[in-house]
Amino acid sequence: MQDFVFHNSTKLIFGKDKEQLVGQESVSYSKKLLLHYGGGSIKNSGLYDKVVSSLREQNIEIFELGGVKPNPRVSLVREGVAICKENDIDFILAVGGGSVIDSAKAIAAGAHYDGDVWDFFEGKSTIEACLPIGVVLTIPAAGSESSSGTVITNEDGWYKRSTGHITMRPQFAILNPELTYTLPSYQTACGITDMMAHILERYFTNEKNVEVTDRLCEATLKTIINNAHIVIEEPTNYAARAEIMWSGTIAHNDSLGVGRIGDWASHDIEHELSGIYDIAHGAGLAIIFPAWMKYVYKHDINRFVQFANRVWDIEIDLNNLEKTALAGIKKTEQFFSSIGMPITLKEVNIDSDHFEEMAKKGTENRPLGNFVKLNEEDVLNIYHLAK
Amino acid sequence: MQDFVFHNSTKLIFGKDKEQLVGQESVSYSKKLLLHYGGGSIKNSGLYDKVVSSLREQNIEIFELGGVKPNPRVSLVREGVAICKENDIDFILAVGGGSVIDSAKAIAAGAHYDGDVWDFFEGKSTIEACLPIGVVLTIPAAGSESSSGTVITNEDGWYKRSTGHITMRPQFAILNPELTYTLPSYQTACGITDMMAHILERYFTNEKNVEVTDRLCEATLKTIINNAHIVIEEPTNYAARAEIMWSGTIAHNDSLGVGRIGDWASHDIEHELSGIYDIAHGAGLAIIFPAWMKYVYKHDINRFVQFANRVWDIEIDLNNLEKTALAGIKKTEQFFSSIGMPITLKEVNIDSDHFEEMAKKGTENRPLGNFVKLNEEDVLNIYHLAK
């Protein structure tokens, strides 16, 4: 186990109707905020009205910025930064999923900085502090509600890049599983894939003696797997929605990753894909992760055997460990497919035209991954495996 | 799953030599502190010198109060409160195990209060705020390093009572598994029993649809069980000490208990025991918990079957679920015994003389437990089962 610091101070308020507390929670930070959200869904569902009314009850002055898209854009972030600076806004409330929260986090960093916010994503500058953020979560997926990172896309060149800082962690996040009842099954499945990928990125490590975090990862993966089909078949099943929602937070709140070095190559490889093609991040991960697994499993067959056995209940064939390892990868792929995710690039109409460009762009600063270090050629091979 | 708020902001600094950071971490809270500790062990091990030197490097003024005993006493807490008030001390550093931390927490509450600190433990007054606390942990057991509660014994009548408040959670805790190398095996085993009991108290719940927390509990229990014999046989095995130390924190940082109502009767029943007899809390739990299990398992046989199967790998006998449930209880008892814990009151020379008194005292304010509500007679029966 490696040395680590675990410090996650986000206050997580979980349960039915809890969005009604948003005004009360927000007012302890400011009487003026930027309300940040995506498209019309929160207006159609009535959530927008509930949030605004809770904020008004506390006499909070509301500035608004909607329009966050999946794979959130730096152009909108810059707009948000300008609004905060012009109006001396010192608190941001994100109502939505990971894209909205990530966009809010980038605004929170940019509002505290004299230069252009993209500097942070290019490593030209380092975040020193962010405005405080609150969250009402509507999509369990990214885990951004209690993570310290953000991923933003720059339309100028379609670069999708990440940055982070401890002060970027939301102060509070409200999680009401009922708010996810109206999520379409495809988006539900994308979220499930994303949270599983967050765990898998941590699970595949070269660190030895990480039993407790291994088992916590397996526990959370099994829960997600067991509840995935229920939420897709019965969208208003509170119990299953609650398991999925809380698992999504656990998957990315750092508790499963302490003391170990995660991989994250699949995320980086997928970011190139959804940076250019604008496909859903979860769908991209369902395609890339199994391909990555097939490409690297020989690096540590025993770890893949453990994964197959403990997560998928596949009996260990001691005479053929490789067979067991491959069966676990196959099960993962079949599972993604069973919840409606694509598992090949062909299914989302992506051909090999940009493979070389993506492999080059993704590795231009450093090799990807930690479990196995991948160079440009490796990444290219993985895209081909995912065809 | 019940609604819940999860908010644990303790900064956990884990790894080798990390006690060297104590000055740096403390100075951001105050230039003056109360250094609180137990007997001579931290002086013999050299930890005391390291801590003092790290504090002096930051020019922190140190007031000292040693002498905390297992089952920490309110008389020493009162002394600590007086020192803090007389010297305007606004930060407490606890160096030790759960008893030292609990004592520090009670001082932190008392220093902020005009009345007598015991009021909080009798429910005569409610904590509104505590002085901030830092921790250097030497015994993985109580989980007090990131919990919001404290247990103190009043020598006047030998009442052992608990209280808590969110501001009682330590600001930071330094966890270096090397500091546990010198723990005698009996104390190591007491700690292991205590952390397992913290998980079991949460595990045995009437709440349905708590899959993720069930599995996280099981994951942590399995890890503790797998590493227990290693740390007892090889006290300087860093990897195993690290698994145990981190599991002890997880067991009581609330992450395993969210969305469910725990039981806690065994803790209360044990508190009466160690309140009167001054036996180690962990040893008392090793005696009481299996007795409690035998007394209540019929209330929800399936939950005990799940425990037997998932934690102890006992095959489920579908024709005789009760047999499977009882096998799990037997395994728990055998495990405690195998790490050197007593599993009967006889082994610690406690006879039935005070059974009635303890059962009466423990239930005088309310029935104990939540999984099954226990009245005076039930508690008496459990003491008899534990003979």
CB contact under 8 A, B227 and A218: no
CA–CA–CA angle A143, A149, A154 (5° rounding): 110
CB contact under 8 A, B246 and A226: no
Each residue of B194-249: pLDDT tens digit? 999 999 999 999 999 999 999 999 999 999 999 999 999 999 999 999 999 999 99
Q: Which residues 6+ apart lie within 8 Å of A212 measured at CB? A: B219, B220, B223, B243, B246, B247, B250
Q: Residue B158: pLDDT band by 50, 70, 90 thresholds? A: confident
* Selection from A65, A75, A67 nearest residue A35 by Cα: A65
Query: Can you tell me the distance from the alpha carbon of B37 to that of B52, in angstroms, rounded to the nearest whole number?
Result: 12
Indicate if the alpha-carbon torsion angle B351, B354, B359, B361 is positive or negative.
negative
* B211 vs A: CB within 8 A: yes
Each residue of B209-224: pLDDT tens digit? 999 999 999 999 999 9
Find the CB nearest A12 among B6, B215, B250: B6
Which tokens in the block code for residue B113? 């209060």
Chains A and B: how many Cβ contacts under 8 Å?
111
Chain A positions touching B180 (Cβ under 8 A) are none
CB contact under 8 A, B14 and A8: no
Query: Can you tell me the distance from the alpha carbon of A174 to that of A15, in angstroms, rounded to the nearest whole number?
Result: 8
* B12 vs A: CB within 8 A: yes
Chain B positions touching A18 (Cβ under 8 A) are 3
Question: Quick count: other Cβ atoms within 10 Å of Cβ A307?
Answer: 26
Structural contact between residues A281 and A70, judged by C-beta atoms closer than 8 angstroms: yes
Indicate if the alpha-carbon torsion angle B365, B370, B374, B375 is positive or negative.
positive
- CA nearest B169 in A: which residue? A9
Query: Can you tell me the distance from the alpha carbon of A20 to that of A38, in angstroms, rounded to the nearest whole number?
Result: 20
Structural contact between residues A5 and A258, judged by C-beta atoms closer than 8 angstroms: no
Q: Which residues 6+ apart lie within 8 Å of B268 measured at CB? A: B362, B368, B369
DSSP B153: E
For residue B364, the surrounding DSSP H or E stretch is: none
* A25 vs B: CB within 8 A: no
B380 Rama sector, left if φ>0, alpha if ψ -120 to 50, beta otherwise = alpha
3-state class of B157 per DSSP?
A: coil
CA–CA distance from B169 to each of A371, B12, B131 (Å)? 36, 12, 10
- Average the pLDDT over B351-374 and give the result: 96
CB contact under 8 A, A246 and B8: no
Each residue of B137-153: pLDDT tens digit? 999 999 999 999 999 99
Chain B positions touching A5 (Cβ under 8 A) are 11-14
Alpha carbon A80 to its chain centroid, in Å, reads 21
- CA nearest A12 in B: which residue? B6
Distance from B387 to chain A by nearest Cα, in Å?
Answer: 35
- CA nearest A238 in B: which residue? B1
CATH class belonging to B183-385? mainly alpha
Query: Can you tell me the distance from the alpha carbon of B294 to that of B322, in angstroms, rounded to the nearest whole number?
Result: 11
CB contact under 8 A, B220 and A215: yes
Q: Which of residues 316-345 of A touch B (CB under 8 A)?
A: none
* Token pair 């104390």: residue: B187
Find the CB nearest A218 among B7, B10, B219: B219
Structural contact between residues A327 and A305, judged by C-beta atoms closer than 8 angstroms: no
Domain boundaries, chain A: 11-179, 183-385
DSSP B381: H
CATH class belonging to A11-179? alpha beta
* A313 vs B: CB within 8 A: no
Give pLDDT, residue B285.
Answer: 97
- CA nearest A214 in B: which residue? B219
- Main-chain phi, psi angles of B194, to 5 degrees: -60, -45
CB contact under 8 A, A11 and B12: no
List of chain A residues with pLDDT < 50: none
Give pLDDT, residue A112.
Answer: 93
* Selection from A322, A13, A184 nearest residue B7 by Cα: A13
Is it the case that residue B123 has pLDDT exceeding 90? yes
Find the CB nearest B211 among A2, A14, A223: A223
Structural contact between residues B325 and B308, judged by C-beta atoms closer than 8 angstroms: yes
Q: Does the model's ipTM exceed the 0.90 cut?
A: yes
* Selection from B37, B114, B125, B120 nearest residue B82 by Cα: B114
Helix-strand-coil percent breakdown of chain B, rounded to 5? 55, 10, 35
* Token pair 């505590």: residue: B130
Q: Which residues of A53-75 are buried (b: 16+ CB within 10 A; e: fewer)?
A: ebbeeeebeebebbebebbbbbe
Distance from A111 to chain B by nearest Cα, in Å?
Answer: 25
Q: Residue B179: pLDDT band by 50, 70, 90 thresholds? A: very high
Give pLDDT, residue A278.
Answer: 79
DSSP B37: E
CB contact under 8 A, B1 and A246: yes
Find the CB nearest A12 among B5, B220, B223: B5
- Main-chain phi, psi angles of A11, to 5 degrees: -85, 115
- Main-chain phi, psi angles of B251, to 5 degrees: -60, -25
CB contact under 8 A, A3 and B9: no
Each residue of A165-223: pLDDT tens digit? 999 999 999 999 999 999 999 999 999 999 999 999 999 999 999 999 999 999 999 99
- Main-chain phi, psi angles of B349, to 5 degrees: 60, 35
3-state class of B247 per DSSP?
A: helix
Q: Which residues 6+ apart lie within 8 Å of B357 measured at CB? A: B276
* B166 vs A: CB within 8 A: no
* B9 vs A: CB within 8 A: yes
Chain B interface mutation, best of A7, A215, A250, A253, highest count of B Cβ atoms under 10 Å = A215
Torsion (CA) B184, B186, B188, B194 in degrees, nearest 10? -150
